[in-house]
Amino acid sequence: MKREENLLFGLYAWRVGLLNRDQISSVVKTMRTGTDVDLGRSLTKRGVLDVAQSDALWAFTYAQIARTGGDARRALGLVPMDEEIKQVVMGSLLAHAVPPSGGDPPTLRLPDAREAIEEAGSEEPAGDEPPEVPPE
């Protein structure tokens, strides 16, 4: 399971009301570690979701990824989010870009993800600056 897929799954669960703000924030922050867990299975084991909800969310997640040509980061940018959740998601994406060893960060197409996320929030009045991602 890729982190972006899990992030999408969690965001969709939040958007349809299966996760609350605290739960989605916790899920997204957990994804910073880049773990390869199945978020649906994890939330089902904890009793947050049932199997049918998890299966439906995964089907929708994969359908949305397919709709964006297989680009999960682009699909992330299409999910409507408020500023707080956007910053948490961007923090998760940025945290993965810096290797724990302190070496040079890998090449990452982060501007594409940032653009997509910013475009999703373009319903705000013109002239607003995009949110700054706080340093870790």
Q: Is residue 15 part of a domain?
A: yes
The Cα–Cα gap between 35 and 49 comes to: 20
Q: Is residue 115 part of a domain?
A: yes
Full 3-state SS string of 118-136: HHHCCCCCCCCCCCCCCCC
Q: Is residue 29 part of a domain?
A: yes
Q: Is residue 111 part of a domain?
A: yes
Q: Is residue 136 part of a domain?
A: no
Contact 92, 32 (CB under 8 A): yes
Q: What is the mean pLDDT of residues 4-26?
A: 89
Q: 50: domain range?
A: 3-120
Contact 53, 83 (CB under 8 A): no
Q: Is residue 135 part of a domain?
A: no
Question: What backbone phi and psi angles, to 5 degrees, belong to 31?
Answer: -70, -15
CA within 13 Å, CB half, 61: 28
pLDDT tens digits for range 105-124: 444 344 455 555 565 554 44
Distances (CA, A) of 71 to 61, 65, 115, 119: 11, 6, 13, 16
Q: Is residue 20 part of a domain?
A: yes
Structural domain total, the chain? 1
Higher-confidence residue of 110 and 7: namely 7
Helices H / strands E in the chain, number of each: 7, 0
Taking the CA atoms of residue 78, residue 120, residue 42 and residue 21 in that order, the dihedral angle to the nearest 10 degrees is: -150
pLDDT tens digits for range 56-93: 999 999 999 999 999 988 898 888 887 878 887 777 76
